[in-house]
Amino acid sequence: MRVAGAVVVIAVLDGGSGADLARRFTAAGAAGVLIADQHPNRAEDLAAELDRPGCPVVGVCGDIHRPSDVAALVDTAEKHLGPIDLFCVAGPDGERIVSPAELPGHLDRLAELLALVGEAISEVVPPQRRAPDDQALTGTAAGTERG
C-alpha cells in the first residue's frame, strides 16, 4: 500500500479512534487526510493538531452509517485534497483500509465504495455491537447486495 503522496479519508465509528491512524498517515507522507467522526469537534480538533504544509488535514463531522454522509465525505475530500487513494474505517475493534482504485471502473463508484465501507464496518465492529442502521451499508438492505 502506497501512502506517500496519497489522499486518505479516515472515517471513525462510534467507539473507534482515528488519531493513531491519522498520525501514521501524516508521518508516512500522505498528500492530504480527511478525518470524519460523528462526534462534533473531535475530527476538527485532530485535524487542527495534525495539519501542516505538504499534508493538509481536514476534519468534518459525519456518520458513515449514512450513505449521504459518505457521499458528502467523498465530495469534501475531492474538493479540498484531490481524488481519494485510500478510504479507512476506524472501529472499536480495529481498522480497515480500502483502495477506491480497486473498484471496477464501469460501475457506480459511490455505490461500490458504499459496499466496501459496509464490508469494512462489519470487519471492525462485532455483530453484537452493530446498530440496526448498519444494514444499509453491510449489503443486507434491498438493492445493496453484491453478487
Residues 20 and 3 sit within 8 Å (Cβ to Cβ): no
Question: What pLDDT is attached to residue 141?
Answer: 39
pTM of the model: 0.79
Question: What pLDDT is attached to residue 64?
Answer: 86
Q: In whole angstroms, what is the distance from residue 144 CA to residue 142 CA? A: 6
Question: What pLDDT is attached to residue 140?
Answer: 40
Question: What pLDDT is attached to residue 147?
Answer: 39
Q: In whole angstroms, what is the distance from residue 100 CA to residue 89 CA? A: 13
Which contiguous run of DSSP H or E holds residue 24? helix 19-27
Question: What pLDDT is attached to residue 117?
Answer: 81
Question: What pLDDT is attached to residue 54?
Answer: 93
Q: In whole angstroms, what is the distance from residue 73 CA to residue 51 CA? A: 18
Question: Can you list the domains of the chain with their CATH numbers?
Answer: 7-136 (3.40.50.720)
Question: What pLDDT is attached to residue 124?
Answer: 76
pLDDT along the chain (147 residues), means of 10: 90 89 94 94 95 95 89 92 92 87 70 80 67 50 38
